[in-house]
Chains A and B, each alone.
Chain A
Amino acid sequence: MKPAPFAYHRPTTLAEALETLAGESYAKVLAGGQSLVPLLSMRIAAPQALVDINALPGLDTIEVSEAGVRVGALVRHADLLADPDVRRVQPLVPAALAHVAHPTIRNRGTTVGSIVHADAAAEMPVVLSLLGGSVEAASSTGTRTIPADELFLGPLESALRPDEIATSAFFPALPAGAGVAFEEISRRQGDYALAGVAVVVHGDSVRAGFVSVSDVPTVVDLTGVPDDGLGEAALAHLDPADDIHATADYRAQLVRTLVRRVVTKAREAAA
């Protein structure tokens, strides 16, 4: 479990990082490394170069405004989770982050990195989708904003181009009177969820995002659905699958159970 040879770059400006990235035929960006490094060690991924962005200035900031939370590419999960202003402006972010792996992984892993890794079994991509957030991407030819609903293309596939670096993610603030909740069930504490549900309730509107029961982070509008029909309404848009840890049928059962629990909790939070 040692990586194949690769070139290692540690640029000190964003411009230099983008130029380096553009000049490599197969490079990966290294931020927290909590997904990338195991893939390298198991030789599942063997890029020719790594562009380590940890020395870039200005990417480790959390900016909280009344509009929402902007998270820089080097912000660690643990710091975002601990930020009281983030909790006030968008409580779904810390509610979901508490379920991201273990403290040691949260101390190193970055929220933006987790988002662009685009794993439908991860919490933060679906939270970004549910909240209608976006990612800021930079390349040597310019910058662009990618809305969450255009970001996730397929399993572990995002709209980020190989020459782009995601410099930040933006989570819109929770409107006044709205309520959120998050719950997931995993085999062991900190494992990837067997199923997870995030809910935003605002007035009559009920929207839910789902973890680990579809190929891409999936948001379902459940507005107007009676409580005893929430599970089936959600499942119509989901595709739970069998794996070594659970059957598809069991995951569907978790969706039914969780969506009712989480909608109730979100309503309580809104009240």
Chain B
Amino acid sequence: MTTKLMGQKVQRTEDQRFLRGQGRYVDDVHADPSTLHAAVLRSPHAHARIVDIDMSDVLDVEGVHLVWTHEDLGSLSPELAEPLPLLIPHPDLTQGRTQYALAREEVNYVGEAVAFVVAEDRYIAEDALDRIKVTWEVLPAVVGIEASRAAEHLVHEDVPDNVGARSEQNTGDVEAALARAPHRLQLELDIERSACTPLEGRGTVARWDADTNRLQVWTSTQTSTGVRAAIAVKLGLDLGQVDVITPDVGGGFGVKVMHPWPEELLVPAAARLLGRTVKFTEDRREHFISSAHERGQVQHIDVGFDDEGRIVGLDVMFWHDHGAYTPYGLIVPIITSTQLLGPYKPEVYRVVFESIYTNTVIVTPYRGAGRPQGCFAMERTMDKIAAYLGKDRTEVRAANFIQPDEFPFDQGLIFQDGRELEYDSGDYPASLEKLKKLIGWEEFPALREELAAQGRTVGIGLACYVEGTGVGPYEGAHVHIETSGKVKVATGLTTQGQGHATVFAQLVADELGVRFEDVEVVTGDTRRMPYAVGTFASRAAVMSGSAIHLAAKRAKEKALRIASDALEVDEADLEIVEGVVRVKGSPESRLDLGTIAVLSNPLRYAFDEASKAATQFAVGDPGKPPVAEDDEPGLEGKDFYSPQRATFASGMHAAIVETDPDTAEVTILKYAVVHDCGHLINPMIVEGQIHGGVAQGIGGALYERMAYDPSGQLLNASFMDFLMPYVTEIPDGIDIDHLETPSPLNPLGIKGAGEAGVIPVSAVVAAAIEDAEGFPITAMPISPSDLHTLRQEHTS
């Protein structure tokens, strides 16, 4: 028997291509001189009315093919002139608003699309933008949570108090619980905005084929099927006329699951009208001001607890800054409000949030998707309880853990997918023990003393999280064994660098008994798999992995059935090894999968030696139809996976940090991660995801924020001033230990791993700085300058 690849550190098949610069991204598609290029005029104001748009100077610019404002959209397609879709409606989102593909009368953030130009090249297109004259009536801008709550000015005239949604969930009478708690504390916390900032921004290429009356679109997305459906609706096309293909994607991290972006509709519309290939490639400044941000929240926590630190009542209110519009509904604040609980079981929990409007870029999920904020709230609370009781921070956490024998554990809330928040499995006490060993929790006091003698200041912190991964509704897969014996696998969700071509091939090789090298995986191409949801919420391995496993199983069943007929052996006596079906115990009696593929497809015509074997005078019982009534030709398997609810991964991080007494610089000396995503398909890839997540988390904790001024101008819309950390800012080593608590919800026992690394980092770093400095850290990110200011406040 060949070794199972599940659980092996299989090298990524993608890397040869990526490392040699042979990746093929949207901007590489149709990179020829006949392609036209689009550029977008964006609002320079955070809040303004459009009085007039004068395009008289543009039309005579040589090389300009088309200029559109909102007025032009209705004649292209009535739906295109309507607001963009509100993708995920929710009953609590009573005041949902979305923007137009091109602003109609008003703009609500700097960067909102106002006019669209298509020209011979991007240079000319930008020259044309410079010549569009817009007369604005500037309105007062609402920037930041404080200004939004004060509601002195409104973002949308018809949305009172700037509140888009108010939502509440509770598991009992929290006021009674707080009243009976022996101890009570309050916290006020603040988390600033950041953003996904993938190195490849957004991009779309479209080509209208007049000969077949079809539209072909390449777009850098996390959901090709979503974009396809949106284009069909908005452009008035049948779904069957639209193909959406996602080539290599240079990072998504959430921002590319938001769709359709205005350009994803305008580029295809222009391609259709002009009969030419049209391309839009977003530049970096555009990405900062017209894609999505996340994270910004202000939180108020009221907690009641007993002498052991067990939480009796937890009452949380938070304000979520969702920016100017709500296309992605309430997903981010719902995740914060539910995943805040982490591995803990407070007796009673109530959470209320307001999702509020500001004149800033929209907020949609960014890796972690509301969890880093929830984790920050819960873990800062745990630390404050421990400090109040004078207890070890790990003891207070352990006192609140859900125990291993309590699964499945129903938290009594409704999760982001509209289903019960019911944890499937986990072992939090075991994780904590591993973490304490990995970071050296017990040894830390001695280390602190030793370094203090050298004039150095260090602190230690930890944080725990639970992450609902692998949410539905479904994914599907198609496994096709060719007559060459090679296996072609298609799944509809997209890939942004995760290594799907590797891990999915591992699963197929294991289930089918074929060589890993013979499996080729295609993702995100609606021509190959038109039914799919997308890559987000740490769901690809769970959803498509399970679907691929099931589809491979079906293909295998068919192969064994055909082989059993041909070899006249019972199916149970057959096995597949390295692409060959053979009789157990007598391996000379065999048929390779390629031959079985030939036999599976009864032919009239022969094209080569192999196919002769399947022609009408060679095979088949003349007394039966060539393809049986309940069968179909071809050696294929297709299946879908649609679980009742999400799987819940978990983990715990700890860090030792040093703070410079003079410069207030923060250095992470040691970073430790214990991670439980159930069975590991490829530990190397899981660890890569953790490394990347932790790095992104360090960005959010120590470097990245969106520096808006009061008028709504983003002051750091470049990689010079938005401080995404370089490799030089990330600790040399991140120590990782795994726990494998399998999920009972899917055939492979797996849980998602994509977002985990980022979730607890701000909470961990805040705790460690607090431990080093001796005063509370309540706002993140924290820069050396911020820490210096806090020191001044706490010494005076």
Contact = CB atoms under 8 A, between A and B. Distances in A.
B130 interface: yes
A154 interface: no
Contacts of B723: 187-188, 191, 245
B721 interface: yes
Interface stretch (B121-129, B306-314, B451-459, B534-542): B121-129
A161 interface: no
Contact of A42 (B285, B725, B726, B784): B285
B702 to A, nearest CB: 9
A246 interface: yes
A188 B792 contact: no
A197 interface: no
Contacts of A185: 663, 665, 784
Interface in A1-56: 1-5, 42-43
Interface string A243-264: 0111101100110110000000
A253 B729 contact: no
Contact of B285 (A1, A249, A254, A257): A1
B716 to A, nearest CB: 6
Given A1-B285, A185-B665, A253-B662, A247 B726 contact: no
A253 B788 CA distance: 9
A3 to B, nearest CB: 7
Contacts of A43: 126, 130
A205 to B, nearest CB: 26
A187 B783 contact: yes
A43 B703 CA distance: 27
A189 interface: yes
B565 to A, nearest CB: 63
B75 interface: no
Interface string B718-733: 0011010110110000
Contact of A254 (B663, B720, B789, B792): B663
Contact of B788 (A189, A190, A249): A249
Interface in B753-795: 783-785, 788-789, 792
A188 B663 contact: no
B715 interface: yes
B663 A257 contact: yes
A1 B122 CA distance: 9
A253 B663 CA distance: 7
B195 to A, nearest CB: 15
Nearest to A4: B127
> Residue among A3, A185, A190, A244 with the most chain B CB within 10 A?
A244
Contact of A189 (B662, B664, B729, B789): B729
Contact of B785 (A250, A256, A257): A250
B716 A250 contact: no
A192 B718 CA distance: 14
Contacts of B721: 244-245
Contacts, number: 68
B284 interface: yes
A28 B423 CA distance: 64
Contact of B664 (A187, A190, A250): A250
A167 B421 CA distance: 70
B501 interface: no
B658 to A, nearest CB: 15
Contacts of B726: 188-190
Contacts of B703: 187-188
A83 to B, nearest CB: 25
B123 A3 contact: yes
A254 B787 CA distance: 13
Interface in A173-196: 185, 187-192, 194
Interface in A110-167: none
A244 B715 contact: yes
B137 interface: no
Given A188-B725, A188-B728, A253-B788, A246 B283 contact: no
Contacts of A246: 783-785
B662 A257 contact: yes
A2 B664 contact: no
> Residue among B663, B664, B783 with the most chain A CB within 10 A?
B663
Nearest to A185: B663
Contacts of A247: 785, 788-789
Given A187-B703, A190-B726, A245-B785, 20 more contacts: A1-B283, A1-B284, A3-B123, A5-B123, A185-B663, A187-B783, A188-B723, A188-B725, A189-B726, A194-B784, A194-B785, A245-B721, A245-B783, A246-B784, A247-B788, A249-B789, A250-B784, A253-B788, A256-B662, A257-B663
Interface of B: 122-123, 126-127, 130, 283-285, 662-665, 703, 707, 715-716, 720-721, 723, 725-726, 728-729, 783-785, 788-789, 792
Closest 4 CB pairs of A and B: A246-B785, A189-B728, A250-B785, A257-B662
17 contacts: A2-B122, A3-B123, A4-B126, A4-B127, A4-B130, A5-B127, A43-B126, A43-B130, A185-B663, A185-B665, A189-B726, A191-B723, A244-B716, A244-B721, A247-B788, A250-B785, A253-B788
